[in-house]
Structure formats: C-alpha cells, structure tokens
Amino acid sequence: MREDLRARLERAESFGEIFSVVKRAVREVLGVRRAGLELLLVDLPGEVGAMHQVGSNAIIMNRRHIQAIMKSSRNRLEVNSYIFLILLHEYLHSLGVLDEGEVAALSMKVIREALGEDHPAYKMAPRKLAEIAEQLIGEDDLISLDNAEIIKDFDMENTQYIG
C-alpha cells in the first residue's frame, strides 16, 4: 500500500487525484470513509489554511496558501504533500473528528503508516503549515465567497442523494 500511495501522490496532477490518495490512506489506516465532498478555493485570512463547517459537504481551502506553497516549493511532490496535509486535516474534520489535537495526532498516524516518516508530508506537517500561515498573517482578514472557485471532479466517489 505505502509504495502505491507514495507513487500516486507524486504523480497527482489535480486536487481530486490528491484527495483520492487522502481518502485511501484514511480508509486503510483508520478504517473510515465518506463520500460527497466538494472543494472550494477562497482567499481566506492568512492564518486560516482551510476549513470545514460541521455538517456541510465542503472543504474550503485558502487559495493564497496554495499560491504561496507553489512559489516556495522545489517540486511537485512538495506541493502535493502540502495539499495532502491540508485535505487530510479537513477530511478528518468532515468525518466527525472535531478536536484539533486529535486531528493532528490522527494526521501524523495516517501519514506515518500510509506514506512513511521519510516522506515530505511527514517532515513538513507541523512546520510548513505554520510557516505559510506566518507569511500571510494580517493580509486581508476578510472572508469573501464572491471569488470562490469550485474545483470540478474533486470527490469522484458515487454518492446517492435523496431528492
């Protein structure tokens, strides 16, 4: 499993491909899953990397964080690892884990078991997230969904809705 997930994460070219690695890693390590999530990119305050409102089906990710990591990273694996970290954190919230300490511990467990301690996602987990947030703190602290970008083909798993 580990080598397959590592290879898939390194090759991923979209948020949806990265999210499928997140979902598989969580399912393999923790034995839980859910479907039907969507991803929105929004310009959020600098200290907010992403968020998931309890009961919703959306992950909202800070577009400015993505832009910052793309500028500062050396390669695609580093960018994908950062996106993996953010999506993993918010996916765990969407599964009902609300305590930030528990999410952090579960995130490290999933990364360690699914990708390994030598993987960039494991090495950057706490440090890189804080570093990016620190660079952007104080920039435009208003949240506006006016410029929200909905990511197509994010969660491709079949979901049935009662209408």
Residue 156 lies in a domain: no
Residue 125 lies in a domain: yes
pTM score, whole prediction:
0.85
The domain containing residue 132 runs over which residues?
A: 2-151
pLDDT at 149: 80
> Strand, coil or helix: what is 59?
strand
The pLDDT tens digits of the residues spanning 26-78 come to: 999 999 999 999 999 998 887 788 999 888 999 999 998 898 888 888 899 99
Supply 36's token pair.
């039907």
pLDDT at 68: 84
Supply 30's token pair.
């923790």
CA distance 76 to 99: 31
CA 112 from centroid of its chain's CA atoms: 16
Which candidate, 100, 123, 14, 13, places its Cα nearest to that of 51? Answer: 100
Residue 159 lies in a domain: no
Q: Per-residue pLDDT averaged across 4-22, rounded?
A: 96
CA distance 163 to 90: 27
Quickly state the pLDDT bin for 133 (edges 50, 70, 90).
Answer: low
Dihedral sign from CA coordinates of 155, 9, 94, 138: negative
**Residue pointed to by tokens 């030598």:** 118
The pLDDT tens digits of the residues spanning 64-98 come to: 889 888 888 889 999 999 999 999 999 999 999 99
The secondary structure of 21-40 as a DSSP string is: HHHHHHHHHH-------EEE
Residue 96 lies in a domain: yes
Our count of domains for the chain comes to 1
Residue 162 lies in a domain: no
For residue 39, list its beta bridge partners: 59, 151
Q: Are 88 and 26 spatial neighbours (Cβ–Cβ below 8 Å)?
A: yes
